Structure 1
Amino acid sequence: MLLQHRKNIYGVLLCFILSGLCSSVFAQSRTELEKKKKQLNQDIEYTNKILRQTQQEKAASLKGLRVLNSQINTREKVIGTINKQITVITGEIGEKNRNISSLQQQLAQLKKEYANMVLFAYRNQSAYNKLMFIFAAEDFNQAYKRMKYLQQFGTYRRKQAEYIERTKKALNLKVMELNSDKKEKGTLLTEEQKEKQTLTKEKVKQTQVVGQLQSREKNLRQEIAKKQREAQKLNKAIQDIIRREIEEARKKAEEEARRKADAEAKAKGTTAPTTTPKTASGSAVLSSTPEAAKLTADFVSNRGRLPWPVEKGVIVERFGVHPHPVLAKVEVNNDGIDIKTNPGAAARAVFGGEVIAVTSVFGEYAVIIKHGEYFTVYSNLRSASVSRGQKVTTKQSIGTISSDAEGNTELNFQVWKGQVKMDPEYWLAN
């Protein structure tokens, strides 16, 4: 009986442990999803503010449409996050139902065993019966075991009662948690439905704005052509600046290698080599010094965690080639990402480094900062507050972002590894 009792107690304990582990995993997942949803809702709130400002304009604008598209994209992410929350809670509900069923079975078994123990104790409550139980043993060894059994019997009865009470409390707690999860799931389903209704309205608005803009195709094509010219000029300026940086770094590396070779030859009493010592090829030469190598490694280790180049903003155009939001069969290419922010907002360095250029493109400024082998570019600035050769720190203001006649304030932010363009969105904190 005691052996079976131990097995059942172990079963209850195992149930508690597994239940606790599952709850911990689910809780962590739910917390992360709730945090993500909160951030997305903050983005939506900020985008709504920008949309209200944009809607005050008499005519629909391409920039307003880009903000609306960003809003729709964020809204879809919110709905996706809510779906994940519902999936997690549904999994928790299933797990809790299984835990409750297991606890109910364990409780029934514990009560049954406890009843048998009470009946046994009642039948053997007198000292005479206890002695008869011991003397009825087949040998001395069995008699000794029966005596020990009687000594431990009372202790096990008390423990059995404690485990029954503990199991009841655990069962009641799981039932309460289950009811709370069901209520939360219902709230999320309602929230999801509301977000879907809002998304439908936004898409209707999107269709209307696209229709209005399509009637101004000529103006849109002129805007695209102007933006492409600006992008090409900026791209050429960046490539030339980076190429010069690589060439200068290569020359310095070669000079340092030649100096070391001369010193070694002099120490050995031999003739210095006439050929140019080999150095790192391509942009890797930018990490040829220990300081530069550390800066490169630190920049890479912060991928996905870099602060945004503005204090507050939303991405209105992403990296790479993608279809134009209005014109059919027209593609646009962005070497970085366009971030819409508040008028008068400052651009901030996303990581510590050295300013290698402050250049002017069509009357606007662009600041290029070197982080070892990597470069970050901040363009469409009305003014720059840094200069070439200056060291900057993370989140340091480097200039004021320009605003157009309608008050639209957008920063174009780029990340380069040597002369290779990279998607900045993968580098910034989510």
Structure 2
Amino acid sequence: MKLFKAAIFLACMLVAAGAFAQSSAELKRRREKLSDELEQLNQEYQETASNKKVSLKQLNILKAQINLREEKIANINSEVRNLDNQISESNNTVRNLQSQLDQLKKEYAGMVLFAYRNQSAYNKLMFIFAAKDFNQAYRRLKYLQQFGTYRERQAGYIQGTQRDLHVKINELDKDKREKSNLLANQEKEKIELGKAKNNQVKVITDLSKQQGAIKQQQRDIRKRIAQTNRAITAAISREIEIARREAEEKARAEARAAAARAKAENREVAVTKPTITKSSTNSQVLNATPEAARLSNDFLGNRGRLPWPVANGQLLHGFGTYTDADGIRNESSGYEIRTAANATIRAVFDGEVRRVIDVAGSYTVILKHGEYFTSYSNLKSVSVGVGQHISTKQAIGTVAVDPSTGDPTVSFTLNKGKEFLNPKSWLADN
């Protein structure tokens, strides 16, 4: 029973260790990715810092650095918490193994003492003949026969437990060293975070001396965003009207065909209510065909798992209200993502290219996914055409450099009909 309980305990420890390893591996992968992105940002910042004229690009890089360092510190905190849990579990395992080892050694010592006292053939015979009856004598004889085998098995248990104890102690020491390294890394990141924040204050101070030019840049940014949003909304409105006309025309064609069949068969025409009317909602119109309805359901079914429109990038502005460097509140209808120069922009889901629009010198591509639309703005080149069917992660163009900030950024918006949705709950973790 003791061995059975020990096996159950060790099995639970192995399951917990497996879950920890999986979580730790994911956190480590994320920490390494953040380190690579920070290294890239550091190189870009050094390039911009060599320019004596302070720009919004420097400020944006610093903001991105600060966000990434804060995320990395939070990631390290999670890793440390995981290691603390693992160290605690390892300590419990070591104590249990040590207790089992002590008990096994105590039992083995008792067997050795018994064997020593009954080592002669005379003592063994006396042990058998001292039985009360024949059955007891037989059981004592079998006991002596099995005693040696049991001693060997008990010695094996002791050796196995000692090995397990040694392995677990080594794992515990490794976890403690890893925790120490993580804490040292965390302190280093906190120092770098402080430097980045100080640099941010300095850059903002320098930028304040160029308020006229900076405000003009910000006005240009807001103007371009507003133009893009208007173009997207107008394009989606046209798509809804096209879908409505197609549905109405299909209904009329079906009615004409039904009337022709009824006339040929010399019977009255059955009056059927049209599927799409003027009172139909945008959702009903866009899902009027089985293919569109299926695509809408597939898109909805992948909520939270859609890939980002770039392989690597940092979020500059999320959905909703944000405040710029001058304290001006702005509204964002989607994600503003900073990425590498000439980065490939890709589709987040299967769909059809419905619009390629030139907005203020850069391209916007609009894809239709049933009643959902995704838009990709600030592209310098486009590799797809209107009417083309696109698969998930297929390239649709390359990113352009934002003329106001000097950053390669892409604007990504997500719509259900005309309604702009927050991409956060739709895109997978980057």
Q: Distance in 1 between matches of 2:216 and 2:160?
A: 76
Give 5+ residue unaligned stretches, structure 2: none
Instruction: Identify the match of residue 270 of structure 2 among 269, 272, 278.
Output: 272
Aligned to 1:104: 98
1:185-196 mapped onto 2 (5 Å cutoff): 185-196=179-190
Paired residues of 1:12 and 1:167 also in contact (CA < 8 A): no
Establish whether residue 418 from structure 1 lines up as the match of residue 417 from structure 2: yes
Q: CA deviation at 1:197?
A: 0.4
Change in Cα spacing, 1:19 to 1:394, as seen in structure 2 (3 Å) is closer
Paired residues of 2:307 and 2:428 also in contact (CA < 8 A): yes
Q: CA deviation at 1:77?
A: 0.6
Q: CA deviation at 1:146?
A: 3.2
Aligned to 2:167: 173
SS at match of 1:86: helix
Counterpart amino acid of residue 356 in structure 1: R
How many residue pairs align between the two structures? Answer: 422
Q: CA deviation at 1:284?
A: 4.6
Counterpart amino acid of residue 42 in structure 1: D
Establish whether residue 380 from structure 1 lines up as the match of residue 378 from structure 2: yes
Counterpart amino acid of residue 194 in structure 1: K
Instruction: Identify the match of residue 25 of structure 2 among 20, 26, 31.
Output: 31
Aligned to 1:308: 308
Q: CA deviation at 1:175?
A: 1.2
Change in Cα spacing, 1:397 to 1:22, as seen in structure 2 (3 Å) is closer
SS at match of 1:358: strand
Change in Cα spacing, 1:303 to 1:45, as seen in structure 2 (3 Å) is farther
Q: CA deviation at 1:362?
A: 2.2
Paired residues of 2:352 and 2:387 also in contact (CA < 8 A): yes
Moved more, 343-352 or 271-280: 271-280
Aligned to 1:357: 355
SS at match of 1:416: strand
Moved more, 125-134 or 39-48: 125-134
Moved more, 92-101 or 402-411: 402-411
Q: Distance in 2 between matches of 1:281 and 1:317?
A: 32
Aligned to 1:210: 204
Instruction: Identify the match of residue 73 of structure 2 among 79, 87, 94.
Output: 79
Q: Distance in 1 between matches of 2:387 and 2:347?
A: 15
Q: CA deviation at 1:391?
A: 2.0
Q: CA deviation at 1:371?
A: 1.8
Paired residues of 2:258 and 2:269 also in contact (CA < 8 A): no
Instruction: Identify the match of residue 399 of structure 1 among 397, 400, 410.
Output: 397
Aligned to 2:338: 340
Moved more, 246-255 or 18-27: 246-255
1:146-295 mapped onto 2 (5 Å cutoff): 146-256=140-250, 270-273=268-271, 275-277=273-275, 281-295=281-295
Q: Distance in 1 between matches of 2:159 and 2:117?
A: 25
Q: CA deviation at 1:262?
A: 7.4
Q: Distance in 2 between matches of 1:320 and 1:340?
A: 17
Counterpart amino acid of residue 162 in structure 1: G
TM-score (normalizing by structure 1): 0.88
Q: CA deviation at 1:127?
A: 4.1
SS at match of 1:394: coil
Q: CA deviation at 1:72?
A: 0.4
SS at match of 1:210: helix
Q: CA deviation at 1:407?
A: 4.2
Q: Distance in 2 between matches of 1:8 and 1:84?
A: 36
Change in Cα spacing, 1:342 to 1:90, as seen in structure 2 (3 Å) is closer
Paired residues of 1:89 and 1:181 also in contact (CA < 8 A): yes
Output one character per residue of 1:62-92: Cα deviation in whole Å (capped at 9) or x when no partner.
2321221111001011111111111111111
Counterpart amino acid of residue 413 in structure 2: Q
Q: Distance in 1 between matches of 2:301 and 2:274?
A: 34
Paired residues of 2:318 and 2:335 also in contact (CA < 8 A): yes
For the aligned residue pairs, the C-alpha RMSD in angstroms reads 2.7
Q: CA deviation at 1:144?
A: 4.2
Change in Cα spacing, 1:136 to 1:243, as seen in structure 2 (3 Å) is farther
Paired residues of 1:114 and 1:161 also in contact (CA < 8 A): yes
Establish whether residue 45 from structure 1 lines up as the match of residue 42 from structure 2: no
Q: CA deviation at 1:132?
A: 3.6
Give 5+ residue unaligned stretches, structure 1: 1-6
Q: CA deviation at 1:188?
A: 0.8
Paired residues of 1:286 and 1:292 also in contact (CA < 8 A): yes
